[in-house]
Amino acid sequence: MSNATAVTDASFEADVLNSDETILVDFWAEWCGPCRAVSPILDQIAAENTGKIKIVKLNVDDNPQMAMKYQITSIPAMKVFKGGEVAKTIIGAKPKPALEADLADFLA
């Protein structure tokens, strides 16, 4: 479905918080239509911005701890992490130009 790496509650610290890269975490679920709609857009953004931002996915149904920790109450929700801290939160499915505008600070 997506080229993005899947992260879990168990791998979140190593894959996201301890990463030197800028990481966008896509909080999603299999049953979520808007999540499925935004997934290929995120794949495109990742492919076009290699080395600037890495996109990973966290299934909130399978990994409730991180969803609860980061107060994910609606999906799709995307959080950009830099240096282990949330640098930006984006809620809801958006077209590619809107997502690129939201992420402009990280794609420059």
* Active-site annotation, residues: 32, 35
- Are residues 17 and 86 in contact, defined by beta-carbon separation less than 8 angstroms? no
The CA–CA distances, whole Å, from 90 to 11, 14, 26, 61 equal: 22, 22, 9, 19
Residue 77 amino acid letter: A
Q: Which of 5, 2, 28 is nearest to 15 (CA)?
A: 5
User: Within 7-90, where are the H helices?
Assistant: 12, 33-48, 64-69
Tokens standing for 77? 């929700």
